[in-house]
Amino acid sequence: GIGGLDLAAEMAGIEVKAFCEIEPYPISILEKRYPGIPIYNDIRQLKGSDFNERIDIIHGGFPCQDLSVAGKQKGLEGERSGLWFEMLRVISELRPRYVVAENVRGAVNLALDTVYTNLVDEGYKVYPYVVSASAFGAPHQRERLFVVGVREDVANTYIKWQSQQEGAVRKV
């Protein structure tokens, strides 16, 4: 993508360490917004060993084409949306404290069960949310699925924060 989640992370005081993007146009946007930050080109080639420091958060939107109502709805069996499993592999290798996976609303029916189970199997407590753009003042609905994974050894901190946020987002 073009760094929407990364802009939000920065606003929250989180330092962005790297990107993974294969498409030329989004790469050009990332290079302009984040000069000097490494961009890994292909999730299928990315390895946890590529990083020399601890990564606390992995966030990203795996491709939605196979999950969107505008697509053929192949789910995670589709070539593009199936890249979730590559994101999961990197999560497994790096063991970040937090994971945020973002996708279209259609992923609730076509991917959420698998994403949820995969993260639980990796030792994460999982919190799915559907968030509407209108909840943040946008003039349209555009619902998005956010799946937050919190590594079990740090989950109590997140649970306290979550209880303070009740009403801001709707759990799935």
Active-site residue numbers?
A: 64
Torsions phi, psi of 131, nearest 5? Answer: -125, 130
Detail the DSSP E strand segments found in the chain: 19-20, 39-40, 57-60, 98-104, 124-131, 144-151, 170-171
Torsions phi, psi of 148, nearest 5? Answer: -100, 125
Distance (Å, whole) CA 21 – CA 40 = 6
Distance (Å, whole) CA 130 – CA 172 = 6
DSSP strand pairing (170-171 vs 144-151): unpaired
Distance (Å, whole) CA 74 – CA 136 = 31
